A and B are shown apart, each in its own frame.
Chain A
Amino acid sequence: MNSLTDSDKPLEIICVACPHGCRLEATRKDGEILISNAGCKRGKEYATNEITDPRRMVATTVRIQHGIHPLLPVYTSEPFPKGRVTELLREIRKVEITAPVKMGQIVLKNALGTGIDVLASRDLK
């Protein structure tokens, strides 16, 4: 869904920025992306990015030694390029850390050179 040209009919995009689930419409006119039906500014931004550079928050787990649980939940510090999520998960799978861990602690720095860190979602003793 990344390509949208002037001649394409409007593209429906369901916004994921918040739980409202607004149905937005994207069209391209003279190369510029136009968004209609957006309930808010963030929706407009989301829909524009969805065409130019789609991103998603990624949450998963890493192995942790000596913790009260065998897994530590982690998440990306900001939305990650959608096309590289599988690659990111392969990288995260290699990580293994030892308890105790603090919430917000960096588990994987500058993941795949994107400048985005992977952070611990909680304290784990």
Chain B
Amino acid sequence: MTEQTYDVVVVGSGPGGLAAAIAAKENGAEKVLIIERDIELGGILLQCIHNGFGMEVFKEDLPGPSYAQRFIQQVSELGIDTLLDSMVLEATPQRRLYVTNRKGGISTFDAKALVFAMGCRERTRAQIRVPGTRPAGVYTAGTAQRWVNVEGFMPGKRFVILGSGDIGMIMARRLTLEGAQVERVLEIMPYLSGLSRNYVQCLQDFNIPLHLKHTVKNIIGNKRVEAVEMAAVDDQRRIIPGSEEIIPCDTLLLSVGLIPENELSRQAGVQIDPVTGGPLVDSYFHTNVPGVFAAGNVVHVYDLVDWVTGAGKEAGRGAALYAMGKLPAGSSCITVRAGNNVRYVVPQRIDAQVLEQEPISLQFRVSQPIEAPVWLEAVADGNSITRRSVFYARPGEMLTLPLKPEMADGLRGAKEIYIHVNER
């Protein structure tokens, strides 16, 4: 059993973890380690072979593996240690990690600051309780993506996709390009859950029908999926009798949401926001456990990898400052709350003293779509702190509201700040 001490240890090497490790090193942490369970760095980006990554960070339209490789290169140039093919079994509030791999057995790592960057898991059939038999041929969209793009086999020939999340739509296109037939994409909500551009370039381009307010009522098949029974739903998401239709297919893919993967965070005593499924954090992505930070999709699910990189950098910088004893102690803590038509806000708490020094970006999602100009507004003690207008607000597309240092005055003494999204 080996033991080692690091300034910053990052768990996970997707875009959040890579950015956090790089930022930690660049902000003065000397010994930085990334622990990754796969055989190479990069995380889920390696199976996201489609384009659309990097428009904000690099001003280029890159495929996922290229985006990852640019950061992997930096990790190696900066002399950041990596431990691959290794699983973190346990994390303690004292920031000790128990890690296992094939070569070294169990080893222990102590971190002055710890960054959790485990990303998300996909919601599965069990979590959305789809009725019917339990044949082979029901998979999550991301699993199918790994098979098709990395491991090299097709999970079926005729597909129905449940859920209009980005991964589902991107897989609809991918499977079509590989010669499969995608019969339908079904979405229980009255609106698209992924980005509009993916509807255009993944579904519309290939004439794949999208049915909003529809779901799978039943899965049919004994050994293998033979068909799914689709049905329309009403405004309360109840199945409308008589609307059923049998769609023959051999595979049902589920693209029904992602859940931040926080088993390790919980072990370490990190408080989880019941809405996001991720840690409650401040603007450094510092959790309630001193020295424990969270980077990227483990906090809440971002639409864009570029924003995951941005969030990872903040977490890594915070971790480096903490490891060096330079992180400002939160003395004037303000709780950030979801107001009108806002489902959640990250960070969930901010510090007016930190805001005096640097801008803070609030990230949030609406509960209901508004297809008209809206105000995004921050209100503290009944006073408007800032507001900005956007053309529309959709649950599938994250919104941001920047707080600037000059606004810190208006927040002094405030206990809470509410974020509202109202029609203009």
Contacts and interface: CB of A to CB of B under 8 A. Distances in A.
A121 interface: yes
A89 to B, nearest CB: 6
Contact of B51 (A14, A57, A103): A57
A68 B62 CA distance: 22
Interface in A71-125: 71, 73, 75, 82, 85, 89, 103-104, 121-123
B46 to A, nearest CB: 7
A14 B199 contact: yes
B200 A59 contact: no
Interface string B186-225: 0000000001110111000100000000000000000000
Interface string B24-59: 000000000000000110000010011110010000
A38 B216 CA distance: 37
Most buried by B among A21, A63, A69, A85: A21
Given A16-B201, A59-B51, A121-B49, A69 B151 contact: yes
Contacts of A23: 196
B397 interface: yes
A63 B51 CA distance: 19
B49 A60 contact: yes
Main SS class of interface, A: loop
Given A68-B39, A103-B66, A16 B200 contact: yes
Given A82-B205, A121-B49, A71 B65 contact: no
Interface in A1-34: 14-23
Contacts of B137: none
Nearest to B68: A122
B69 interface: yes
Contacts of A121: 49, 62-66
A48 interface: no
A59 B63 contact: yes
Interface of A: 14-23, 39, 56-61, 63, 68-71, 73, 75, 82, 85, 89, 103-104, 121-123
Interface of B: 39-40, 46, 49-52, 55, 61-66, 68-69, 149-152, 177-178, 195-197, 199-201, 205, 303-304, 391, 397
Which 9 residue pairs of A and B lie closest in terms of their CB atoms, listed nearest first?
A21-B196, A122-B65, A73-B49, A16-B197, A57-B51, A70-B152, A121-B63, A121-B65, A75-B63
